Structure 1
Amino acid sequence: MKKILYTLLLFSTISISAQGKRFFENGEVQLKNPVEKINLRFESNLPFVKVSINGKIYNFLFDSGAPTVISHAIYDELELKKKYKRSVKDSNEKTQEQIFTELPEMLVDNLTFKKVGAIVLDLNSAELGCLKVDGILGANQMAKLFWRVNYTENSLEATRDLTLFDLKDYKTILPFDPKPQKTPVVKTRLFDKEIDLTFDTGFSGRIEVTEEKFNIKKTSRAVETYGTRSIGAFGAAKPVKGYIFRVDSMKLGNTIFQNELISTSASDLIGNEFTKDFSFILDWKNNKVYFKPIKTIAPKLETFGFSYRFIDAKPVVAFVFQEENFPLKIGDSIISINNINLENLNKDSACQYMINRIEKNQSNIDIKIKRDGKILDFKMERKEYLK
């Protein structure tokens, strides 16, 4: 059964000004075959591909929510030249000035990309370093081809000719407007408000909207939350009050989805927890995403009611449901879960537990925490909310 993720590795939705539009139009791609099959690895609700640059293999995120990105290590190794510096905003509205450069060549299996514009970012900070990402294959590269994606089968295909992808069963169609860096934006309405959802394969969650789009008076099915839900390119979001809620219906493109689960956050996004139930085709020529359903099970909200981050290799409660008598609080230091000691971890072991959560697939857990110098033990049960 489908579950909502609570530590959302929100990696993308990097935005730029319209000044960078021409920069991200540049570049070309060559194919050896009419349809190219690309390596794809779907882990932690995120899609990764192996790319080759100057004969060296790197791990890139396949991310429609961001432009192409390379690490400082790649930039330095290739001795690339700076085109210019511009301010870049991540999904949590944090802004930093970054180098814009041009990547001479990148191989993705039998695809050869040349002279692609890229942003240089630090990809080793905080939780992002655990993913061991060297860069992003971004929307400006994707827009040069048609892509068919199926996370369930770890399948990714690319072509220049859309007719080589049979659209017969792809009956759900989402028109989109591309941003200057080609990121797709899908329009919808919620509580009588227009919403622009970034179609973001670099977002591990389901559907999120900014809090001003939510109206507590128009739904009786909502859970109040508090804490940090997301990690952006420049760090974690600040802890805030939020909601997870269910809507009776939500129209996306030509299809109405029933009993959809949505969360409030810093950005308006549609991500992999939603799209992994489909095979989908990305089409920048006609500005559409085509969907063929793989699963039709309604989303369920099953959780222990909290999540935690690793700060300096120490697990700390970062997000909780605002329930009466809920035992955990923001800032609690976690000593152990199910008698697995989480104290004195190094960077590698902290990353291991961050990606492979002890509580995953568990119905009950014993958790030991430290709060105000006191050691406290709690037994917690996974519950279903918003049935």
Structure 2
Amino acid sequence: MATNLSLVFVFLLSGLPAASAQSEDLRAAMSAPIYIERESGPTRIPLDWRMQKLFIEASVDGRSGTFLFDTGSPTILSRRFADTLELEVLGQNTGVDANGNAVTMDVARVETLALGDTVFHGVPVLVFDFGSLEMGTCFMRDGVIGSEILPGSAWRIDVEQGELTLAEDGEALGTRETAVSAPLHDFGYPHMPIVDYAVGDVTDRAPFDTGSAEEVALFRPVAESGPVRALMVDGSRMTGQGSEGVSAGGRGEVQALSRFDLTGFEIGGTRLGEVTATTRSVPPSLIGAGMLNRYHVVLDYPGGEFRLEPREAPEAPRAHAGFAVGYEEGAGRVLQLFTPSPAQAAGLQLHDRVIEINGRLLDGADAEQRCDQALWLAQSFSGAEGGEFVILRDGERLTLTIPPVEG
């Protein structure tokens, strides 16, 4: 995936001055109980699985919209959508985005947030201008439905059937004998689902974060530890350089990158078999939406249980291209590059300006066309299939033929 709009926030409420009346109001607004109004039986709503992300329809104070469903983020309304609701701004809060950048957003509260016939009353929301991010409005229409509405319900995420189910408790969702089960921890706002995991002798906790497209993303010091390295599949490791993606504070700085297959990843004492993992420079480690290619995921907050239910028809693992292309400062760019990879062997370099891919023009387009091309890169383009790339490097136009990834 070329563009990663991962919105993982660790909120610094403890950093607000204790003597501030506004900070006390914000704490009260964010920690106040959310009342849930339901019909009898589970609620089922369509789930749109694209770009390794989850999108749902929701109604906020009676206005319908399309939202990213992100269990690793609080609920965030786009500035454009929020302005139509004429919300009262309660104050501002500063948090840290997925790349470690401080981001300040307005805080408000909506009267109702409805998913199908289940209605959540009194939900705290943040308000952010996604237009401040390059291509932000291309990928993020109305905002994010986040994790503060998760407590009080059991949720089942099924991308195989394209369905999100929520119920009063886990029993209403049924159980499967083949499911992998682990305790689910809730440590307060924004109520992200936290799970214990282990890799060999290393034990830790990680959010299940559907904002991350990976199966597993390990904090780099964890990934570089001896017990983890010992369980990497021989020959699977690729190293490289590039940005880890775009978050609310903008695109992350160039970092050392690593990808590998891991044989010893455990949840709830059960080894999952081989998982594909990458590294991240900012804690915590994450269990991401990539797991949905193999499992249905149940988040049973009332029962305190996290479950992975094997899919009847899991998706085959996808070969990684060894590079990523996205837009930066209005032009197509190579934003990640790994070695060993066919792209690196063919001469592609980090920061190369990409003008064409297989005859498709990326360069010189207007804003609307760039948005279309960015969506094509994220949804349809498969770098693992290789192709003919026209690039501009140091003023020289070059054509590179990148072979497909083997296997």
Q: TM-score, normalised by structure 1?
A: 0.90
- Residue pair 1:260, 1:298 contacting (<8 A) in 2 also: no
Whole-angstrom distance in 2 between the partners of 1:360 and 1:169: 36
Structure 1 stretches lacking a partner, 5+ long: 1-5
1:224-239 paired onto structure 2 within 5 Å? 224-239=239-254
The 1:361/1:265 distance shift into structure 2, 3 A limit, reads closer
SS in 1 for 2:90: strand
1:183-332 paired onto structure 2 within 5 Å? 183-190=192-199, 192-215=201-224, 218=230, 219=232, 220-221=234-235, 222-266=237-281, 267=283, 268-294=285-311, 300=317, 302-323=319-340, 325-332=345-352
- Residue pair 2:170, 2:302 contacting (<8 A) in 1 also: no
- Residue pair 2:214, 2:290 contacting (<8 A) in 1 also: yes
SS in 2 for 1:82: coil
SS in 2 for 1:356: helix
- Residue pair 1:38, 1:156 contacting (<8 A) in 2 also: yes
Structure 2 stretches lacking a partner, 5+ long: 15-25
Note the C-alpha offset of 1:226: 0.8
Question: Alignment partner for residue 360 of structure 2, among 317, 324, 340?
Answer: 340
Question: Alignment partner for residue 158 of structure 1, among 146, 161, 166?
Answer: 166
Note the C-alpha offset of 1:301: 5.7
Whole-angstrom distance in 1 between the partners of 2:175 and 2:210: 21
Note the C-alpha offset of 1:250: 1.2
- What does residue 15 of structure 1 align with? 10
Q: TM-score, normalised by structure 2?
A: 0.86
The alignment of Structure 1 onto Structure 2 pairs a total of residues equal to: 380
Q: Please list the CA deviations of residues 92-141 of structure 1 after superposition, one character each: whole Å capped at 9, or x if unmatched.
A: 11112222211112222212221111111222322332113312211111
- Residue pair 1:15, 1:88 contacting (<8 A) in 2 also: yes
Specify the code of the residue in structure 2 equivalent to 1:363. E
**Aligned pair 1:173/2:181, yes or no?**
yes
Note the C-alpha offset of 1:334: 0.6
Specify the code of the residue in structure 2 equivalent to 1:275. L
Whole-angstrom distance in 1 between the partners of 2:329 and 2:207: 31
Q: CA-atom RMSD, angstroms?
A: 2.4
Whole-angstrom distance in 1 between the partners of 2:357 and 2:27: 48
Specify the code of the residue in structure 1 equivalent to 2:393. R
Percent identity, aligned pairs only, is: 18
- Residue pair 2:196, 2:204 contacting (<8 A) in 1 also: yes
Note the C-alpha offset of 1:342: 1.6
Please state which structure has a larger fraction of its residues in helix. 2
- Residue pair 1:318, 1:331 contacting (<8 A) in 2 also: yes
Name the structure, 1 or 2, with higher relative contact order (CA <8 Å, separation 6+).
1
The 1:21/1:277 distance shift into structure 2, 3 A limit, reads farther
- Residue pair 2:200, 2:265 contacting (<8 A) in 1 also: no
The 1:378/1:261 distance shift into structure 2, 3 A limit, reads same
Note the C-alpha offset of 1:236: 1.5
- Residue pair 1:309, 1:315 contacting (<8 A) in 2 also: yes
- What does residue 3 of structure 1 align with? none
- Residue pair 1:261, 1:299 contacting (<8 A) in 2 also: no
Whole-angstrom distance in 2 between the partners of 1:322 and 1:257: 27
Question: Alignment partner for residue 139 of structure 1, among 117, 137, 147?
Answer: 147
The 1:254/1:296 distance shift into structure 2, 3 A limit, reads farther
